[in-house]
């Protein structure tokens, strides 16, 4: 896995008292092409605090292109921002 730290657009479900449930996200590559990635399975969810911000970290598995990949996305609750961390 390599670190990328890119902001992404996510379609997610929010429920009271539970972590957000992401379904798919959109990311741009270095050539400015847009790719939509569907989250097949969430392997692990962790909650942490970094500099006073609550951050939900999701380790996911799904199809990226034609291969099954594991990747990590984060949701910053304070800023309302999703990021693709590792792929």
In whole angstroms, give the CA distance from residue 8 to residue 23: 13
Nearest Cα neighbor of 46 from 33, 37, 59 is 59
In whole angstroms, give the CA distance from residue 25 to residue 39: 8
Domain residue spans of the chain: 3-86
In whole angstroms, give the CA distance from residue 27 to residue 18: 25
pLDDT of 65 reads 83
Question: Are the beta carbons of 63 and 52 closer than 8 angstroms?
Answer: no
What pLDDT, in 10s, does the model give residues 54-75? 999 999 999 888 999 999 999 9
What pLDDT, in 10s, does the model give residues 11-55? 999 999 899 999 999 999 889 999 999 999 999 999 999 999 999
DSSP three-state, residue 39 = coil
């Amino acid at each position: 896995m390599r670190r990328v730290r890119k902001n992404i657009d996510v379609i997610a479900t929010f429920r009271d008292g539970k972590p957000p449930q992401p379904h798919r996200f959109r990311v741009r590559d270095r050539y400015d092409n847009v790719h939509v990635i569907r989250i097949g399975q969430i392997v692990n969810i962790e909650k942490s605090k970094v500099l006073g911000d609550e951050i939900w970290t999701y380790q996911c598995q799904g199809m990226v292109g034609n291969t099954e990949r594991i990747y990590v996305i984060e949701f910053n609750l304070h800023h309302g921002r999703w990021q693709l961390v590792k792929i």
